Amino acid sequence: MGGRTSKRKVTIRDVAERAEVSISTVSHTFSGLRPISRATRDRVLKAAAELGYEANPSARSLRTGRSGLVGLVLRPRFAVAHTRDRAETFNRLVGSVATEMLRRKVGLIHVPELDDPAVASVPMDGCIVAHPYGGDSVVTELLRRNVPLVTIEEDPERPELPWAVRLDYSTAVSGLLDHLREQGADRVTLFTGGEDNAWNRRTRETYHAWCERHGHRARTELLSESLSADSAATRIRRLLTVPRRPDAVVVATSDFAAIVVQIARELDLRVPEDLMVAALTDSEHSRLSTPPITAMDLSHEQLAAAGVELMLARLAGAATPDGPVVIGPDLRFRASTRRDGGAR
Q: Nearest-CA neighbor of 178 among 344, 309, 12, 9?
A: 344
Helix 23-31 with 38-51: angle, nearest 10 deg:
100
The model carries a pTM of: 0.78
Give the Å distances, CA to CA, from 104 to 43, 96, 108, 305. Answer: 36, 13, 11, 11
Label residues 139-159 b or e (16+ Cβ within 10 Å = b).
beebeebeeebbbbbbbbbbe
pLDDT at 89: 83
User: pLDDT, tens digit, for every residue of 70-87?
Assistant: 999 999 877 665 555 567
Q: Nearest-CA neighbor of 250 among 163, 127, 337?
A: 337
User: pLDDT, tens digit, for every residue of 287-342?
Assistant: 999 999 999 999 999 999 999 999 999 988 888 999 999 999 999 999 999 988 76
| Same domain, yes or no: 175 and 293 | yes
> Residue 151: what are its φ and ψ, rounded to 5°?
-105, 135
Question: Does 113 fall in a domain?
Answer: yes
- Residue 154: how many CA atoms within 13 Å on its side-chain side? 20
More confident residue, 31 or 199: 199
> Residue 300: what are its φ and ψ, rounded to 5°?
-65, -30
| Same domain, yes or no: 188 and 230 | yes
The domain boundary, picked from 21, 49, 64, lies at 64
* Residue 65 φ/ψ region, left for φ over 0, alpha for ψ in the -120 to 50 degree band, beta for the rest: left
| Same domain, yes or no: 100 and 141 | yes
Cis peptide before 156 (omega within 30 of 0): no
pLDDT at 121: 63
Residue numbers of the domain that contains 52? 12-64
Question: Does 256 fall in a domain?
Answer: yes
pLDDT confidence band for 152 (50 / 70 / 90): very high
pLDDT confidence band for 134 (50 / 70 / 90): very high
Choose the weakest-confidence range: 16-30, 164-178, 186-200: 16-30
pLDDT at 281: 95
User: pLDDT, tens digit, for every residue of 25-82?
Assistant: 877 676 554 567 888 888 988 888 888 876 554 444 444 456 788 999 999 877 665 5
- Any idea what the CATH number is for the domain that residue 111 is in? 3.40.50.2300
Question: Does 2 fall in a domain?
Answer: no
pLDDT at 3: 46
Q: How many domains does the chain have?
A: 3
pLDDT confidence band for 104 (50 / 70 / 90): confident
Judge contact between 15 and 48, C-beta under 8 A.
yes
Q: How far apart are CA 35 and CA 160, in angstroms?
A: 27
SS3 223: coil
| Same domain, yes or no: 158 and 177 | no
- Residue 207: how many CA atoms within 13 Å on its side-chain side? 23
Question: Does 3 fall in a domain?
Answer: no
Average pLDDT of the chain to the nearest whole number: 87
Cis peptide before 148 (omega within 30 of 0): no
